[in-house]
Every structure is written in structure tokens, then in C-alpha cells.
A and B are shown apart, each in its own frame.
Chain A
Amino acid sequence: MGRYVLRRLLQLIPVFIGTTFLIFALVFAIPGDPIRALAGDRPLPAPVQEELRDRYNLDDPLVVQYGKYMANLVQGDFGQDFRGRPVSDIMAERWPITIKLSLAAFAIEIVIGLLAGLLAGLRLGSFIDNVVRISTVVIISIPVFVLGFTLQILLGVKWEIFPVAYNGTFNGLLLPAIVLASLSLAYVARLTRTTLAENLRADYVRTAVAKGLPRRRVVGVHTLRNSLIPVVTFLGVDLGSLMAGAIVTEGIFNIPGIGNQVFRSILSQESTVVVGIVTALVVIYLFSNLIVDILYAVLDPRIRYD
């Protein structure tokens, strides 16, 4: 097992380099002069432009730029935005909110999603099963921005159950968390339902019943243990993407999180900020995938020694 982890970690490195370089290239190699974008309508005197160019290594070939950037990165220096503010400060300020939001969404998705999926899977074809099936498919179909927007209007403005936008309190995170969780919740419910239903038909369930085990144990111990494998792995992947920040949701509810930040930075062509944040995102994503793979190997003995 240790060897497997080591091997995966090593595999991670070239992918990390590749992905970050790709992003770097996408952001920095794009047409358009960031210096001019920064200056806006005011023309900058040539020496100032020179200085800025030098500071941001904009004259070096792309690969060199990348190399210098990475060298700084591993020392914790993510560079600065065009106003001189360290990107790491920006991230430190914005990420905690996104994390809070993600955890809230994660909790909602686990509790409601699992519950709905379990109930539906245990009673296939029943009323509750149909309710779950229909509602999940409807939720999946409504794009997040439509759903978020609608809920904001209905629950925030019209019925005033939740604050309309983020107001600094936990309460203000609740509605966005629900919106963020909604899509994943639907998938968790469906996945749980399908896996549970499949496992209930499995041969080993027949054996467990033939062993005279009480139904409670057959379902609660035998089936559940098998059914949870795909669900847990999905949840792991999902947590990773939640942490990456939800651009749309943060935008609608005006949450000063990382998703919001990266979106605004892209639009204003703050290349360093974008690369900094996305690089961190990539790291999170790669690691969460690795953890999920390990988790899967832990949960399913059949694929232990890969």
C-alpha cells in the first residue's frame, strides 16, 4: 500500500507540472498586453512600462517565465497583483470563506443526499422512491445560475427567509450552501439509490439471508458496506471541486470567496492572480483525487495491491 501511494505521488509531479504550465501558457501567452490593460485609458510613460515588464518578467520566453514563477511558488511566493498586493494575501483572505461555504454545502449534501438515496434504494418503486427520482432529475436539469437566482428571489427577497446576499454571518452562507449543494445532492441521492438497489440484488445478500441474519443486519452491514464504496469516492471528488469555489454561486450571492476572486481577476486580466489561484486549485484537485483513489483502495479489498 505504501508503495502504491508513493507511486501515485510520483505520478502526480509530471501532471502537476504539465497542468500548471498549460494554465500558465493560457494566461500569459494570450494576446493582449496586460500592462496596457492595467493602465486602462491612461498612457503609461515608457520607463514605467519597462519597469513593470521587468518586474513581471514579461520579456522572457514563456518557459523561462514559467520556471521563474514556479521557483518562487515553491517558496511560497505567488507573486503580486498589479497593485502590488501579494497574491498569497488575497488567497488567505478569500479562501476561508469558500471553505466555510464548501463545508456547509458538503454537510447538506451528505445528510440529505444520503438519506434520500437510502430511502429510495430500500423501497424501489415506492412513492418516496419516485419523489426522489423525479426531484433529483429536476434539480440536475436546472442550471445552477437559474436555481440560485430563483431561490435568491423567492427565499431571499419575496419570503425573506434568508438574507439576499452574504452579510458576513453564517446565516448568510446558508442559502448559497443550499444552492451549491443542490446539484451534488441530487447526484449523491441517485448514486446511493442505484448502488443500494444493485447491491440488494446481489448474490451475497441472498447468502446473508440464508444465514438467518436479521434483515437489519443484512441491509445495514452487508449491503451498506458495499454500497458506500462508490458513494464515498464520489463525495471525495466532490469535496475537492467544492473547495475550488463555485464561481456562479459566489457571484449571485456576492460572497467574497475564491471563486468570485478568480472570476473577476480573469476578466480584468490579472494574470498573476489567476495563475496563482488556479495553480493552488490544481494542487487541491490532484490531491483530492489521490486521496479518493487511496480511499477506494482502502474500502474495496479487491483492489488493494494494485
Chain B
Amino acid sequence: MTEQQQKVSRADAGSFVAAPQGGAALEAEVLPGLLPAGAAPEGRRASLWSDAWRELRRNPIAIISSLFILLVVLMAVVPGLFTRQDPRACEITLSKLRPSGEHWFGTDNLGCDYFAQTIYGARASISVGVLVTLGTAILGILIGAAAGYYGGIADALLSRASDIVLGIPLVLGAIVILTVIRSRTIFTVALVLMLLYWPTVVRIMRSTVIGTRNMDYVQAAKALGAGNLRVIRRHVLPNAIAPVIVVSTINLGIFIAVEATLSYLGVGLSRPAISWGLMISDAQRLFRSFPHLLLFPGLFLSVTVLSFILLGDAVRDALDPKLR
């Protein structure tokens, strides 16, 4: 269940976030290798990021996943590129048609072209996924870095607040809040999810920042007179950000699934919005005779999530100093 997904995406950050209280383990895992790499061949300046990029470029899975993601994003942004049909131009007489030359994915219960629906449905899921991930990532990075670096009372308060919000299971909380909102748009859903999820990202960032700020090169920078902001910007952030990037990439996929789940349960986007989750929910009763109604949105949904997870894995492998 997606409650588990929430906890598990933390666990899956795996080599980055060790354990509930295991701060020491975290340092040992992540940090020794996150220092900018040393000797580079033929004088090329090597750094964690350029090395990671080079490795990603060579990884076939990363490439294929990225291409598919690009495709889906395109579907979300310019659906007109893929289909000329209007997903809302429905003729009840044409309902429940099997896939044909005229309607590539057939039609749904109300006679709307399913291919168009599938294409347009991408927008909901992708948008929510992107919004939530970006929002929590930015929030998480800023707040987590500040809390981890400066510490003090603000940090303590933040931790308490995080604990409290984290006590609410993600999907449950989302359902509770969304039930009362009359017209739920992409933004409302995204906002609700962000409100419930931010502590996780803040925690990850805070952990790595706490580890990084004790590293020798940070002490050295300070000794050379660098101000706090500069130290954070140039030394702490670039190194501590890696786990957040990995987790965010994987989370994009997970939040796409969460949006679909919420829509499936009826508390996601309000009709007449088009969402893969809604399509699947509608397809339930008719699946037996018309499997294509479940197949297409289900397939697109799964493959999209798959692409993000594979990409996230590839990014983690590329950034992981131990595997190089």
C-alpha cells in the first residue's frame, strides 16, 4: 500500500539514509566518497557530477527510461501532438468499442476515444508527480540544509514538527483532507501531498548536511574565512544534495502512482478531469468483457512509474562513489 511506499522510499534511499537513529552509519556510508574526486585523466577536471553524468550517458537503461519519460512528459504538455481526437468528444453510440484503425485504443463507456483519453490522462499524473516532487525537493533542500547546518532551537522545533506530520500516514491523511475539498484540481492534490510529505525530504537533507558540515573540507573552508552562506552553497550543498536527488527521482514515480490511487479511490481529481486512475476506476466493472479499458491506462501508468524508478536507480548508481 502506498503508506508503505512512503516509508519504503525512505528505506530505498537505502545506502544514503541508514536507520532511524543511526547517524554515524550514514556518515560512513555516504560521505567519504562524496568529496570531489581527485586525479583525472589528461587534466580533465573530475567531479562527482561530471563523473555521474558520464556514467549515466553510457547506461542503456537510464537512456531508455529517460526517453520514455520525455515521451510521457510530451504527452502531458502537448497532447495535441499525439492525437487529433478530442478526448471529450464522446458519442454514446460508439461506446465500448474494441481497438480499431479508427480508435487505436477503442472507446470507453461513454464513447470517448480511449487513445486520446490515455494521452490526455498523462497530464494529471505527471503534473501532480512533478509538482509534489519539485515542491518537496526545494522545500526539503532549503529547510533541511538550514536546519542541519545551523542547528539550535529552530532545528529542534523543526524535528518535532516533522515527527508530528510524519505520524500521519500519507494516503490516509490525503484522503481525510481531500474529502472535504469540493473541486479538486491538480494543484490542490499536489499541495495536500506536499504538506504531508515534506518532512521526509527535510529529514534526508538534514541528515546529510549534518554529516557534511563536520567534514574536514568544510572546516578548512571556514578556517580560510569563508562565510556561512558561502560554505553552505559551495561545499555543503553540492555534496549533501545527492541523496535528495536520488530519492526525488524515485519519488516522482511513486507520486504518479499516488495520484492515480487517489483518483481511483475517488478523492483525487474531480470529474470531469481525465486521469489514469479515474479511467481504471471506471474500468473496473467492465473489465471482463472489455479488458482494453483497464489495459491501456494500467500499462501506461506502470511503465511510467517503472521508468522513473529505473532512472532513479541509475542515478543512484552513478552517484554512488563506492560503485565506481
Contacts and interface: CB of A to CB of B under 8 A. Distances in A.
Asked whether the complex places CB atoms of A and B closer than 8 A, the reply is yes
B54 interface: no
Interface size class of B (residues with CB under 8 A): 35 or more
A177 B314 CA distance: 31
Interface in A145-203: 145-146, 149-150, 153, 157, 180, 183-184, 187, 190-191, 194, 198
Given A137-B306, A149-B284, A266-B176, A184 B8 contact: yes
Contact of A296 (B21, B24, B172): B21
Contacts of B163: 15, 18-19
A19 B163 CA distance: 8
B220 interface: no
Nearest to A282: B167
Interface stretch (B99-107, B146-154, B239-247, B296-304): B296-304
Contact of A137 (B168, B298, B309): B309
Interface string A214-247: 0000000000000001100110011001101011
A274 B176 contact: yes
Interface in B20-37: 20-22, 24-25
A138 interface: yes
Interface stretch (B111-119, B135-143, B226-234, B256-264): B256-264
A150 B253 CA distance: 20
Contact of A19 (B2, B167, B302): B167
Interface in B152-174: 160-161, 163-165, 167-169, 171-173
Contacts of A303: 21-22, 24-25
A183 B305 contact: no
Given A183-B4, A296-B22, A141 B164 contact: no
A244 B280 CA distance: 25
A34 to B, nearest CB: 11
B265 A293 contact: no
Interface residues of A, number: 68
Interface in A225-281: 229-230, 233-234, 237-238, 241-242, 244, 246-249, 251, 259, 262-263, 266-267, 269, 274, 278, 281
Contacts of A143: 2, 257, 260-261, 264, 301-302, 305
B22 A153 contact: no
A149 B15 contact: no
Given A145-B261, A150-B298, A237-B11, A249 B303 contact: no
Given A146-B298, A241-B3, A282-B168, A266 B22 contact: no
A107 to B, nearest CB: 16
B8 A183 contact: yes
Given A32-B180, A241-B1, A241-B3, A15 B164 contact: yes
Nearest to A278: B172
Interface string B1-21: 111110110011011001111
A234 B11 contact: yes
Given A242-B4, A296-B22, A194 B11 contact: no
Contact of B176 (A26, A194, A237): A26
B313 interface: yes
Count chain B CB atoms within 10 A of each CB in A180, A229, A247, A251 and give the residue with the most: A247
Nearest to A286: B167
B294 interface: yes
A289 B18 CA distance: 14
B67 interface: no
Contact of B177 (A26, A137, A296): A26
Count chain A CB atoms within 10 A of each CB in B22, B167, B305 and give the residue with the most: B167
Contacts of A187: 4, 8, 11-12
Contact of B167 (A15, A30, A145, A251): A15
A53 to B, nearest CB: 19
B181 to A, nearest CB: 9
A90 interface: no
B288 interface: yes
Nearest to A183: B4
Given A141-B309, A146-B302, A263-B265, A241 B7 contact: yes
A285 B169 CA distance: 9
A145 B280 contact: yes
A264 B165 CA distance: 23
B179 interface: yes
A15 B310 contact: no
A144 to B, nearest CB: 6
B287 interface: yes
Contacts of B306: 137-138, 141
B313 A137 contact: yes
B63 interface: no
B283 to A, nearest CB: 9
B189 to A, nearest CB: 15
A185 to B, nearest CB: 11
Contacts of A292: 20
8 contacts: A18-B163, A19-B164, A143-B2, A183-B4, A187-B11, A190-B12, A237-B11, A248-B2
Interface of A: 14-16, 18-19, 22-23, 26-27, 30-32, 137-138, 140-146, 149-150, 153, 157, 180, 183-184, 187, 190-191, 194, 198, 229-230, 233-234, 237-238, 241-242, 244, 246-249, 251, 259, 262-263, 266-267, 269, 274, 278, 281-282, 285-286, 289, 292-293, 296-297, 300, 302-303, 306
Given A18-B167, A146-B302, 17 more contacts: A15-B164, A18-B160, A18-B164, A23-B176, A140-B305, A141-B253, A144-B1, A146-B301, A183-B5, A241-B1, A266-B179, A274-B176, A281-B172, A292-B20, A300-B25, A302-B24, A303-B22
Which 4 interchain pairs have the tightest Cβ spacing? A19-B167, A18-B164, A141-B306, A246-B1
